[in-house]
Chain A
Amino acid sequence: MAKELNLTKDIKVVKKDRLRFTKNKISATLCYLAILFNVLYFVNIYSSDVGNYYYSITIGLSVVYNLLFLLFAFLCSEGVKNYSKNYSIFIAILGALQIGRIFYIPMNAHSATVTTAEAEVAVMDDKQFMLVIIFLCASAACAIASGIIGYIKTVTLENYKKETGLG
């Protein structure tokens, strides 16, 4: 084209300005990944004998927590996509709680045994234990990363809007 569109060279400004019109897809995608890893954990943990070992209110609470996690993580994915500071913090907290969960069911189940057909067997063998730990850690990492990235981007965008006076 004869008269090319005028393009600036200040990449930093361009990157900040871009935030005004683009969604925070990275944070949202990380939220979805956190949900995915949580589902994998959720599915995997009940393939062990925890059902026999924890046949109590603990299992019920675990199921409810998983469902709540899915719900709020999805809610957060929409929030962080639209540069919400609160949702960024919230998803990071959910991520931290995922780490905390390692020390509850998986850790206890790994060191416990149940008696099945008059034989004592481990509730959760080493392989499965490693697998659920990996899933929970991955879920936590994704959620925390989503929160941090979301928070940084949101603050950057807010500051940029204040500096330039753009709405």
Chain B
Amino acid sequence: MASLSLQNINKIYDNNVQAVFDFNIDIKDGELIVLVGPSGCGKSTTLRMVAGLEDITSGTLIIDGKDVTQMPPKDRDIAMVFQNYALYAHMTVYENMAFSLTLLKENPNVIHEKVMAAAEILGLTDQLNKKPKQLSGGQRQRVAMGRAIVRTPKVFLFDEPLSNLDAKLRGATRREILLLHKRLGATMIYVTHDQTEALTLADRIVCMSMGYVQQIGTPLELYDTPANVFVASFIGLPPMNFFDAQVAKDHLVLDSGEKISLSAEESKTLANYVGSTITLGVRPENIVLGNDITMKVNNCENLGQTTLVHGTTGGHKITAKLREWCSYEYGSNITVSFNRKHFFDKETTNAIR
């Protein structure tokens, strides 16, 4: 187990494309950090720089108090789990899991005990004599994890390990990774573009876009107090609804002319913006049936406990997640209220607090 510190990390490729800009984070012992963001945001590049698979153009990487920026990957004591498993097809599960320790010329009896212990943790005891092609995707990914576990590395790196799995298996394997983290108490960095994975797994999330860190915080912080429009739109499912709104003293005026009243606290927050336009963000789950604005229904998706109502208001698309089973006809009007609002500066897109 180890602590990590990434200080002013930059990555510029040979073709002068900069993939990561000034990445800073201190990761505590035993913490599970999730790097989340859309494709091409630099999260995998960052992970690969930690692993030593990519050179760090500038900045410092410290593992357990030791500067490892220039250290080759094999000496960093890091294990990485890849999206495509990277298992040896001609070896059995047991041999795959034991391989790294065999290369280290570890005592075979010790290797055996470590492999058996890891297999038990991952529920692979019955599969040890099978070849990877005889396993399901989830089992293969567990083998890949087992191969990492047996090495007892300082840091585990996961590069979108669940992307190749179907939805059901993804959920199950996600829970297994979480249990594994609790059981091993290991420091882990996990890369994903799936915000559900990020929210359910992370101790802290690093949300990235275009190579920049947008926000670092706990899942609740990112969900509840997003730093900017990007984080607000990326975290949460269905995504947050956004509207341009003119700020008045005690209310907002939407494009459609409809007024939304503000609480005393909200008015105080927007005191400096009176007379200007801001971006109003409302999560679908914060929309309730009420009497503030009229929404024209396009369609309803009943999900059992909740209903997603898609529609428009003043030409803007809006999605509401209502906590009841509803069925509104196409074109019908309903009136809704916002019971929680997020405000963003229209120019900078940063949250107004």
Could you give 19 example pairs across A and B, Cβ below 8 Å? A1-B1, A1-B152, A1-B153, A1-B185, A2-B186, A3-B185, A4-B152, A5-B117, A5-B149, A6-B117, A8-B113, A15-B109, A17-B116, A18-B108, A18-B109, A21-B92, A21-B95, A21-B112, A21-B128
> A11 interface residue, CB < 8 Å from B?
yes
When the two chains form their complex, are residues A3 and B183 in contact, meaning their CB atoms are under 8 A apart?
yes
Q: Determine the chain A residues whose CB is within 8 A of the CB of B116 once the complex forms.
A: 17
> A14 interface residue, CB < 8 Å from B?
yes
Interface residues of A in 137-160 (CB under 8 A from B): none
Q: Determine the chain B residues whose CB is within 8 A of the CB of A1 once the complex forms.
A: 1, 152-153, 184-186
Interface residues of A in 6-58 (CB under 8 A from B): 6-8, 11, 14-15, 17-18, 20-22
Cα A5 to Cα B148 with chains together (Å): 13
Give min CB distance, B14 to chain A, whole Å: 37
What are the interface flags for B179-209 relative to A under an 8 Å C-beta threshold, 1 for contact and 0 otherwise? 0000111100000000000000000000000
Cα A7 to Cα B117 with chains together (Å): 7
> B167 interface residue, CB < 8 Å from A?
no
Given the interface pairs A1-B152, A5-B114, A5-B117, the reply to whether A22 lies near B94 with Cβ below 8 Å is yes
Give min CB distance, A18 to chain B, whole Å: 5
Cα A6 to Cα B109 with chains together (Å): 13
Interface size class of A (residues with CB under 8 A): 10 to 19
Cα A8 to Cα B114 with chains together (Å): 10
Q: Which of A1, A3, A18 gathers most chain B CB within 10 Å? A: A1
Give min CB distance, B102 to chain A, whole Å: 11
Q: Determine the chain A residues whose CB is within 8 A of the CB of B128 once the complex forms.
A: 20-21
Cα A14 to Cα B116 with chains together (Å): 10
> B129 interface residue, CB < 8 Å from A?
yes
Interface size class of B (residues with CB under 8 A): 20 to 34
Cα A120 to Cα B129 with chains together (Å): 63
Q: Determine the chain B residues whose CB is within 8 A of the CB of A2 once the complex forms.
A: 1, 29-30, 184-186
When the two chains form their complex, are residues B1 and A5 in contact, meaning their CB atoms are under 8 A apart?
no
> B110 interface residue, CB < 8 Å from A?
yes
Interface residues of B in 87-144 (CB under 8 A from A): 92, 94-95, 108-110, 112-118, 121, 128-129
Cα A96 to Cα B112 with chains together (Å): 35
Cα A5 to Cα B97 with chains together (Å): 14
Q: Determine the chain B residues whose CB is within 8 A of the CB of A3 once the complex forms.
A: 183-185
Give min CB distance, B101 to chain A, whole Å: 12
* Given A18-B109, A21-B115, 12 additional A-B pairs, CB 8 A: A2-B184, A3-B184, A5-B113, A5-B150, A6-B117, A7-B114, A7-B117, A17-B116, A21-B92, A21-B95, A21-B128, A22-B94
Candidates B92, B94, B118, B185; contact of A5 at CB < 8 Å: B118
When the two chains form their complex, are residues B112 and A14 in contact, meaning their CB atoms are under 8 A apart?
yes
Give min CB distance, B145 to chain A, whole Å: 13
Cα A21 to Cα B11 with chains together (Å): 44
Q: Determine the chain B residues whose CB is within 8 A of the CB of A6 once the complex forms.
A: 117
Q: Determine the chain A residues whose CB is within 8 A of the CB of B113 once the complex forms.
A: 5, 7-8, 14
When the two chains form their complex, are residues A21 and B184 in contact, meaning their CB atoms are under 8 A apart?
no
Q: Determine the chain B residues whose CB is within 8 A of the CB of A20 once the complex forms.
A: 128-129
Given the interface pairs A5-B152, A6-B117, A7-B113, the reply to whether A21 lies near B185 with Cβ below 8 Å is no
Q: Determine the chain B residues whose CB is within 8 A of the CB of A11 once the complex forms.
A: 109
Cα A18 to Cα B106 with chains together (Å): 14
Select from chain A the residue with minimum beta-carbon distance to B125. Answer: A166
Q: Determine the chain A residues whose CB is within 8 A of the CB of B118 once the complex forms.
A: 5
Q: Determine the chain A residues whose CB is within 8 A of the CB of B149 once the complex forms.
A: 5
Candidates B29, B109, B152; contact of A14 at CB < 8 Å: B109
Give min CB distance, A143 to chain B, whole Å: 25
Q: Determine the chain B residues whose CB is within 8 A of the CB of A21 once the complex forms.
A: 92, 94-95, 112, 115, 128-129
When the two chains form their complex, are residues A18 and B112 in contact, meaning their CB atoms are under 8 A apart?
yes
Select from chain B the residue with minimum beta-carbon distance to A17. Answer: B112
Give min CB distance, A81 to chain B, whole Å: 13
Cα A14 to Cα B109 with chains together (Å): 6
Q: Determine the chain A residues whose CB is within 8 A of the CB of B115 once the complex forms.
A: 21
Q: Which 4 A-B pairs have the closest CB atoms?
A: A2-B185, A5-B117, A21-B94, A7-B113
